[in-house]
Structure 1
Amino acid sequence: MKILSLDSSTESATCAVIDDNKLFGEITFNYKKQHSTVLMPMIDTLLKNLNMDIHSIDGFVVSKGPGSFTGLRIGAAVIKGLSQGTGKPFVGVSSLDALAYNLCYTSGIICPILDALRGNVYTALYNFTDNKLNMLGDHMLLSIEDLIKTLNNYNEPICFIGDAVPKFKDDLTSNIKQIRFSPANLNLARASSLGELGLKLLKSGIQDDLYSFAPFYLRKSQAEREYEKKLRSQVHE
């Protein structure tokens, strides 16, 4: 089964074509957020260089969040459009799952962190045992202080990965004893990792519905928060 995967959940934009045994090609841009202008040309360039067209793809995988609200919406719209146009299935995969999968076979706890602004991170905890990535709990939106408290309950090495690492590296290093950090070449979203996880789901018959699928954000957007604040102020007037 040949699939095209796309991740636009962070500042990086990345797409890949893989099958069960091979990564055919992958393109990643880790520069600014220009997803609305780069995603479709990037997919087109990748397919042309592989001498493929969109109808040679058997399924699609997209990051479903958490991450950038705008990036997730754009990525979902692109993949839903391709799925509808080709009649091929698609599935959403957690951006945190995909980041953790970059560090498969790492011992100890794998902790992806994405910048959620205001001193907060999107995160989840994982380990890799029996050739399988295991999630330890749920996706979380935490302050960096609360994340440190949570991690200090584990007596294992912690390996961090994700776009929030540079921002909080000093805080993490100062407060966690057994600490590691992903190398720079792995410390970003990779469509190939997302694709491998999604391929397993599609092959097992799991897919998302074209009309009901929506990214998950873990928090409300700034516009939603401001709207609710406005409603509350009107109630008290």
Structure 2
Amino acid sequence: MYVLGIESATPVAAVAVAGDGVILAERMVLNQRTHSVNLLPMIKSVLEESGVGKKGLGGIAVSGGPGSFTGLRIGMSTAKSLAQVLGLKVVGISTLTSLAYPLAGRGCYVCPVLNARKNEVYTSVFDNKEVLNRLVGPMAVRPGRLVEILLDLGGPVIFAGDGVSQYMDFFKAGLGNLAGFAPSMLNYPRGAAVAELGLAAFREGGGVAPADLCPEYIRPSEAEVVWLKKNNAGS
């Protein structure tokens, strides 16, 4: 079975094709163009370069959030449209899980952190086993509260994600020698991780019809907050 993975929840656009035990093709770009411009040409390229093509796909996996509201919508609509045309099922993969996935089995807790703005991060905490097991989250939380949670767990932790650059010094100050940091190449979720996690999900009977797939925003968008405040005030 071959699975197309699509990642668009962060500033990086990434796509990949995974098969049994192998990544056949992968593309990743961080530039000023929007995901709506980048994704379709990248998908076309990996399908051609892998030799799988559209008709060879068995399913499509896409980043399900949390992350950029706009990026998630673009990735979801792209995955759902392509799946609808090809008659395939789709599966949403947690952006936090795909960030943690390459760090499984490192002998420490894994803590992906994405910049959620408003002085918060999107985060989860995973255990230190070969197979990821989420212990905390997903949630939007202030970095200080995250440090408290990690101190309660009481073991070394490795951080990864686009929130690392902003809060690295804070985590070092709060956790001391317990804090470690992934290489910069792992601070953005990979299309290959989304594809591999999707392949595992499909093997376990996962996947839904395109119309049934929904993103995991964790918290409402700014537009929704403004609308709720306006309407609650009016009522």
TM-score interval for Structure 1 and Structure 2 normalised by the shorter chain: over 0.9
| CA distance in structure 2 between the aligned counterparts of 1:5 and 1:17, rounded to whole angstroms | 6
CA shift for structure 1 position 33: 6.0
Task: State the partner residue of 2:175.
Answer: 176
**Residue 125 of structure 1: SS of its match in structure 2?**
strand
Q: Residue type matched to 1:87 in 2?
A: G
Task: State the partner residue of 2:150.
Answer: 151
- Gaps of at least 5 residues in structure 1 are none
Task: State the partner residue of 1:140.
Answer: 139
| CA distance in structure 2 between the aligned counterparts of 1:31 and 1:146, rounded to whole angstroms | 32
Residues 1-237 of structure 1 aligned to structure 2 (within 5 Å)? 1-32=1-32, 34-129=34-129, 131-177=130-176, 178-235=178-235
Name whichever of 118-127 and 51-60 sits farther off: 51-60
| CA distance in structure 2 between the aligned counterparts of 1:89 and 1:63, rounded to whole angstroms | 14
Aligned residues: 234
**Residue 153 of structure 2: SS of its match in structure 1?**
coil
Name whichever of 176-185 and 28-37 sits farther off: 28-37
Q: Is the 8 A contact 2:17 2:50 kept in 1?
A: no
Name whichever of 142-151 and 203-212 sits farther off: 203-212
| CA distance in structure 1 between the aligned counterparts of 2:73 and 2:198, rounded to whole angstroms | 18
| CA distance in structure 1 between the aligned counterparts of 2:104 and 2:29, rounded to whole angstroms | 23
**Residue 105 of structure 1: SS of its match in structure 2?**
coil
| CA distance in structure 2 between the aligned counterparts of 1:72 and 1:54, rounded to whole angstroms | 22
Aligned alpha-carbon RMSD (Å): 1.3
| CA distance in structure 2 between the aligned counterparts of 1:53 and 1:47, rounded to whole angstroms | 5
Name whichever of 66-75 and 44-53 sits farther off: 44-53
**Residue 79 of structure 2: SS of its match in structure 1?**
helix
Normalised to the residue count of structure 1, the TM-score between the two structures is: 0.95
Instruction: Summarize deviations over 1:61-80 as a string: whole Å, max 9, x none.
Output: 00111111011111111111
Q: Residue type matched to 1:8 in 2?
A: S
CA shift for structure 1 position 153: 0.8
| CA distance in structure 2 between the aligned counterparts of 1:21 and 1:46, rounded to whole angstroms | 17
- Gaps of at least 5 residues in structure 2 are none
| CA distance in structure 1 between the aligned counterparts of 2:2 and 2:170, rounded to whole angstroms | 42
Q: Residue type matched to 2:122 in 1?
A: Y
Q: Residue type matched to 1:100 in 2?
A: A
| CA distance in structure 2 between the aligned counterparts of 1:193 and 1:50, rounded to whole angstroms | 16
Instruction: Summarize deviations over 1:83-135 as a string: whole Å, max 9, x none.
Output: 11111221111010110002122111100000100110000000232x31111
Normalised to the residue count of structure 2, the TM-score between the two structures is: 0.95
Q: Residue type matched to 1:148 in 2?
A: V
Q: Is the 8 A contact 1:92 1:208 kept in 2?
A: no
> Given the superposition, is the C-alpha separation of residues 33 and 117 from structure 1 closer, same or farther in structure 2, using an over 3 Å criterion?
farther
Q: Is the 8 A contact 1:13 1:29 kept in 2?
A: yes
> Given the superposition, is the C-alpha separation of residues 32 and 168 from structure 1 closer, same or farther in structure 2, using an over 3 Å criterion?
farther
**Residue 169 of structure 1: SS of its match in structure 2?**
helix
**Residue 133 of structure 2: SS of its match in structure 1?**
strand
Percent identical across equivalent pairs? 34
